[in-house]
Every structure is written in C-alpha cells, then in structure tokens.
Structure 1
Amino acid sequence: MPAGAPRIFVSHLAGVAVFDPNGDQVGRVRDLVAMLRVGRRPPRLLGMVVEVLSRRHIFLPMTRVTGVSSGQVITTGVVNMRRFEQRPTERLVLGELLDRRVKLVETGDEVTVLDVAIHQLQSRRDWEIDKVFVRRGKGGVLGRRGETLTVEWSAVTGFSLQEEGQGAESLLATFEQLRAADLAHVLHNLSPKRRAEVAAALHDDRLADVLEELPEDDQVEILGKLKDERAADVLEAMDPDDAADLLSELPEEDKERLLTLMRPDEAADVRRLMSYEERTAGGLMTTEPIVMRPDATVADALARVRQHELSPALAAQVYVCRPPDETPTGKYLGTAHFQRLLREPPFTLVSSVVDNDLPPLAPDASLPAMTSYLAAYNLVAVPIVDESGSLLGAVTVDDVLDHLLPEDWREADFPGMEGAAHAH
C-alpha cells in the first residue's frame, strides 16, 4: 500500500485470501501479529498469520507483503511453510487486542476496543497500528450501547508495555532503537540465562542481525539453545557469509542437520561459501550483491539501491552481468558506482556507465590482497569473479575489517555504549 493510501481496519482482513504474484492462492489471513512498545508509541505490525491449504498456520512477514486491501493480500511469492509459533513479545491483533477494555487518556472513560487500523509508513517497509475504534460503556445484549469513536493509539491506555515491567519484553522495548551492533554489545554483557531469554523473544530478522555482530562463542551458545527449526529460520535471515561462518563453528552433525532444514536455495549459497578457505575472498564474500542486466536503466538500479535491507557498502555499487542476473552464473561486465548513477538521466542504460577498468578479484585472493585493493582504489566493496568470468559475489569493507581487527574486538566498549551496556 503506497504511503498516503487509506488506512485498513484489521477486521476487514480477517479471512481474506492471500495470493502470490502469479495469482495462485496461498491461504487466508487468520490474524495479524504486532509488537507493543513502551509508552504510547504505536505498535509495529510484524506480519500475518496465514492458514494455508493444509490448514497449517504460518507466519507471513509484512516485508513479504506487496499489496493489502480489504479484499486480498499479495505476497512476493516467497513463503516459509513452517508452523507459526507466537513469541513472548508478540501480540495477536484479532485474538488479543479486540474486545479488550481500555481507558481514554483524556477523560478516564472505560471503552471497549472494536477494531484497530493499520497503515504503512513512508519508508514503505514498516507498518503500524495507529488508530483504535472504540465504544463507550459496557454494552451487551440487554445493555444500552454507548457511542463509538475512532481515536489515536496514544489516546488510550491499557495496551502498551509499562516501563517498570519485568521480563524480556521491557528489555527489548527499551533497546528497540539500538543498532544491531549496540544490542549485541548489551546481550554479550548479560548472563547466559538472560541472554537466552532475550534471544528467544527477538524476532527472527532482528536476532539474525544481532547474531552477526556477536562474538563466535555467543553465536554458537545462542543458536544451540534455539529449536532446530527456528535456528534454521534465523540462519536463513542472516547474510549467507555470516551464516556460513557460524555454521563452520558447529560440529559436523549439527551443521548438516541445520542445513537440511534450511530452504534449498539458501542452503546452497551457504554450502558454496563454506567450500572456500576462511580468509580468502571466496570465504568472506556475500552471494547477494546488487546484480543488474545490461539493458536495465539507471532508474532500475537506483530503485534497487534504495532497498532498506541493503548495507551501505553493498548499496554503493551495482554489478552488471549478462543473464542470468544472479550469482554464481552471471557473466560479469563491470561495476556501476552509486555516485555515477546519481549523475545520469534515469533512462540511461547501466551498461553505458560501468567501470570496466578495475579488474575483479579471484575467489582465492588473500586478505592482504583484498585490503590493498580496497585501499588503492578507494572502494567499499570488490567483485569476486571466477576463471570463467562469472560473478560469484562481493567482499565489502566491513567483512575485511572483521578479519583485520583483533578477535576480541567485539567485546571491547566503544563510545556511546557505556550507558547502554549497563542499562539492563
């Protein structure tokens, strides 16, 4: 739903069909999943509970939803079929928020929640619950129904987490705005028991981001305390190179079991990365850089660069390849730098702005070779290409720094974290 589109009341979504991009029905919406936040901030909508044809309930993240209306929901077509399990920080909107008794902040009147409205933020990635439709008085079959009104989420009390509350919910809500690296620093300083409780309460994507920033011992410890199916989900949400590094620390039996539970395409990328030596370009690269065909336009490339989930290093350049435009089979033609893309008219073909003077690196390139390459050409990423000329992936400067710094660098305090590390 584009920014500025009408709000949608969740009662209108109950039971609506969910379709993939080809028009095939995936299932029906049975509930929505939200995360409450401290104070009166609107809850973030995490996703939908969808009943698929086998009557299994699965979780559909809002990041996989491309269209929402009162008549249908359209997904990207990539759906995880594992059974939905509610986490401690999650609330079912239809099942737990509707029919609840809350109070109006201004008057103190007790009201009943009849419905809530959701809308998509301007970032076109996050969704929030921003309106509450309520009825004054207790009502009922014999009682007189009071007036109904729609108010802002902040105008009612009785939903939100209390700041003095205990448990992982309040801790996570307190640190919700922290970057993944900062939250990882907090987790590292918790007791093993508390660390496991917080990790269990984190959403898969958030936990994946945090795991990527933790020391290896903490990563292995946390992953080992998750159920196998959830551990596989978290590994899928991690960058393939980070997932490969983590799996390489596990016993062979555990590694194979988790790889088997992962989606085949995700597992294939991780297995490919694990086949390279650890401190080589092949071992450090990500298999998910931005890849464009020669006939793509600058406008197409900039649209890809704007994707929220991309790191700044990966968004700094686009790799142009002949079809198929994906690793590891696309024929590498050159690199289009973000700054150059900004200077060109939107209709310009990316093939006309590629920098093909810079030679790519081979997957067996050493760490010093990668460091020298990035420093010599003032780049934040380097393409990795095999002997046949196919793009295998890209190594970013943060991957290189991870291996240049001392092994315990993540455990050291750094500016801005002294207070957060002890706030728990």
Structure 2
Amino acid sequence: MRKAGAEVDRIEKLTDIVTHFVDNGEWRRAATLLAQKHPEDVARVLEKLGKEDRTKVFKFLPLELQAEVLLCFDDDIINEMLKVLSHKDLGELVEEMDADDAADIVLELPEEERDKVLSHVPPEDREDVEKLLEYPENSAGGLMTTEYVAFPADKKISEVIEELKKLEESESRLLYIIGKDGKLVGVTTYRKLLLSNPDSTLGDIAEEVPSVSVLADQEEVIRAVEKYDLIEMPVVDEEGKLVGVITLDDIIDVVEEEASDDIYKLGGLGEVESIFSHPVKSAKRRLPWLIMNLLTAFIAASVVGFFKDTISKIVYLAVFMPVVAGMGGNAGTQTLAMVVRSIALGEVTFKDVKRLLLKEIMVGILIGLAVGAITSAVAYLWVGNPVFGLLVFIALLGNMIVACIMGLLIPIILK
C-alpha cells in the first residue's frame, strides 16, 4: 500500500508541474519534461489534462514516445486522439509501432479511414499490419506479433549464433524451431543455445511447446498459458505452420482486459469504461442496466401492492421486507461472482448446470436456515409474535434458495 501511495504521489507531483507549464502556455516545456519519463507515466499525466492541452503537449513529444504513449492511453482517449491527429501523423505513429500494436490502433479507425492512414506507412510495414487485420480482434491472430525469431531444425547452433548477432532485437524471448515445411517443431531459450554444443543442430535441443490456432479465442489463449505456465504462446495456422507469437506483454493485457470485462459485467456495464470517460458516455453505458433494474423494481413493487391491506394491518411487515429483499440480493451477488469467475476461467460448461444447481439449492437452504433463524429470532423478540417470526423465517429461507439459483442460472444463460 505504501508503494502504491508513493507511486500515486509521484504521478500527482509530475501532473502538477506539467499543469503549471500548460497553464502558462509552455506546452513544449511540458513535453520536454515528459520526454524523460516512462510512457505509462506520461499517459497517466496527459489523461488528466484537458483535450486541447493534451493534444498540444502530445504533438511536442518525440515521435517514438508518441507511439508508446498512444498505446498506454485508455480507450476513450485513444479514440479522441485518433480524431484530432491527421492521417499522415497516424501513419508515422503506426510505422513506429510493432505490427500487432499498429493493427490494434488501425482497428479503432473507421473502415474508410484505415487505407488513408496506411498509405503513409512503408509497404513492408503496411503488409504486416494488413495481414494481422484479417483476423478477428479477440482471436490469437489478432493478438500475435509476426516479429519473432525462428530457424530450421537442421541448422547448426554455431551458425544460428552468428546469424543472431546480425538480427535486430526481437520482442520475443524465445527462439522458435521449425521444420522444412514451416511447421512448429519446438522452442529453446537463448541461454540453452549458448551452452549447447556448437556442432549440434537446433533439433537436438528443441523442447516441445503447446500452440494455439490462429483463430482461437483470447480466453482459450489465456487458459493455455495458465495451464502450461508459459511466458509466450506460439500461434499456428490450420496446417500447423508457425505464423506468429503472442508475447508476455500482450498476454498480461488480455488477462487485465478479461478481468475488467468480468468486473464491469457484474456492475451491469456493457463495455469497459474509463474512470475519466466523458459524463455523457458514462451515463449512456450505465443507463440500460439501471433501466432494466428499474423495471424489475416496478414488478416487485406491484407484487407488494397486492398485499397492501395485509401490510397496513401488520406494520412490521414493512420493516422486515427490506431485510428479506436485501439479503436475497446479497446472496445472489455472491453466487453470481463465483459463477462469472468460473465461466471466465473455463471451469463451467452447460454439462455442469445440473450438478451446480443441486449444490446451490443446498447452499441456499443452509444459509437460509442460518440467516432465517437469526432474523426470525429478532422479529419474535421485537414484535412478540411467534407466528410473525415464523413467517420471516420462511420468507428468508425461500428467498435465499431463489437467489442462489438465479445467481447461477442468469450468467450461464447469458453466456
């Protein structure tokens, strides 16, 4: 916590200095200061500025840093920047990025503008980006980079080491070994390569590694990474040929995205929302779920309305109704959280529904008995009527069972 607090303080101090420069119209000076900082820190500071000031400071940053900072922005800010930057400016930024990152940015553009931006990118880089754009955004192909190091299995280790000296630095941390047909044979680490007999071939030191199809969903990728404890994931086509690699930074991004998506779904938000999103956008994203809840509240109110005469005679019913309803909501949320997490991790399928349904009914009975006993005892002591206490007990027991059942079924049905 102290470390996190220190991190926040550091960003806040940097933001204060940059804001001071901006308020005095010294955008270039603010950019000069930020140019010495990490791209992630620069992005966090710029997100706190107004739209106009943010754009001015951003344009004064070095081109390489602009590309890195753009990737660190929240989605709403990225879309905002894409609207204010020219096609030529965006083309230059895309050229600075790795192919997979460039594809992510281009994908955010309207289709009619993508070619205009890519026309400012060198043909070789453009071809790499266009190839990645062919794959679905949330697929392994949409996540992978085509910038990796691969050599044939029959190549001597001494020859590989010499060739590696001539290559540019790769984002990949492993060396991939392929057959003559381009199919993935295995991987090796650079350390193992250097410690091996120079006269041996790569096939001699190749280690088998799992791979995913280029069309595999990103959730499948994450499950495979977790299962096999990998730092990066090779991607193959339908013939088993190596076509790309999903690196550690992209794996972490997907894990964060999937976790955020699940949390937002629990809150009734259809898509990921930045804390700094425009109020109108935030309201649009939140309203549908709230309106749906409002409708269900009206239904519940109408049911209560049927018993208004009974409630008017027994006033204490109105006192304990919120308790019964609130406890049902809490129990349902607990089950919902467990089920959503299990679905995200691939632990639950439709085949499990019957077994889980019986389990949640039993859970509902157990917590209903416990909570109902406590609440009915309080009701009896408060009202002095054992029948009223029994009614509260039965209501809570039934509500707990229904809440657990619905907390299980709703996310599975929606999935």
- TM-superposed CA distance for 1:361, in Å, is 1.2
Task: State the SS of the aligned residue for 2:175.
Answer: strand
Which of 203, 212, 220 in structure 2 is aligned with 1:369?
Answer: 220
TM-score by length of 1: 0.50
Distance 1:182 1:409, change over 3 A: farther
RMSD: 3.3
Paired with 1:185 and 1:389, the residues of 2 have a C-alpha distance of: 41
Paired with 1:175 and 1:358, the residues of 2 have a C-alpha distance of: 41
Distance 1:226 1:299, change over 3 A: farther
Task: Determine if the alignment matches structure 1 residue 180 to structure 2 residue 51.
Answer: no
Task: Determine if the alignment matches structure 1 residue 201 to structure 2 residue 60.
Answer: yes
Q: Which residue of 2 aligns with 1:320?
A: 177
Task: Determine if the alignment matches structure 1 residue 266 to structure 2 residue 113.
Answer: no
Task: Determine if the alignment matches structure 1 residue 383 to structure 2 residue 234.
Answer: yes
Q: Which residue of 1 aligns with 2:249?
A: 398
- TM-superposed CA distance for 1:276, in Å, is 1.4
Task: State the SS of the aligned residue for 1:383.
Answer: strand
Q: Which has the higher helix share?
A: 2
Distance 1:309 1:194, change over 3 A: farther
Task: Determine if the alignment matches structure 1 residue 359 to structure 2 residue 210.
Answer: yes
Task: Determine if the alignment matches structure 1 residue 229 to structure 2 residue 88.
Answer: yes
- TM-superposed CA distance for 1:185, in Å, is 1.5
Identity of aligned residues (%): 28
Instruction: Verify the 8 A CA contact 2:76 2:274 in the aligned structure 1.
Output: no
Paired with 1:308 and 1:390, the residues of 2 have a C-alpha distance of: 23
TM-score by length of 2: 0.51
Deviates more, 1:293-302 or 1:337-346: 293-302
Return the letter of the residue paired with 1:286: T
What does residue range 118-129 of structure 1 map to in structure 2 within 5 Å? none
Distance 1:221 1:306, change over 3 A: farther
Task: Determine if the alignment matches structure 1 residue 291 to structure 2 residue 150.
Answer: yes
Q: Which residue of 2 aligns with 1:217?
A: 76
Instruction: Verify the 8 A CA contact 1:240 1:286 in the aligned structure 2.
Output: yes
Instruction: Verify the 8 A CA contact 2:27 2:56 in the aligned structure 1.
Output: yes
Structure 1: 5+ residue runs without aligned partners? 1-161, 324-328, 413-424
What does residue range 2-401 of structure 1 map to in structure 2 within 5 Å? 167-294=26-153, 295=155, 297=157, 300=160, 304=164, 310-311=170-171, 314=172, 316-322=173-179, 330-344=182-196, 348-355=200-207, 357-401=208-252
Return the letter of the residue paired with 2:235: I
Q: Which has the higher contact order (CA 8 A, sep 6+)?
A: 1
- TM-superposed CA distance for 1:371, in Å, is 1.2
Structure 2: 5+ residue runs without aligned partners? 1-20, 262-271, 277-415
Q: Which has the higher strand share?
A: 1
- TM-superposed CA distance for 1:393, in Å, is 0.5
- TM-superposed CA distance for 1:227, in Å, is 2.8
- TM-superposed CA distance for 1:285, in Å, is 0.8
- TM-superposed CA distance for 1:281, in Å, is 0.7
Q: Which residue of 2 aligns with 1:136?
A: none
Paired with 2:159 and 2:37, the residues of 1 have a C-alpha distance of: 32
**In the TM superposition, what whole-angstrom CA distance separates every residue of 1:272-294 from its partner, at most 9, and x where no partner exists?**
21221221111111111222344
Paired with 2:152 and 2:127, the residues of 1 have a C-alpha distance of: 23
Paired with 1:202 and 1:411, the residues of 2 have a C-alpha distance of: 25
Q: Which residue of 1 aligns with 2:319?
A: none
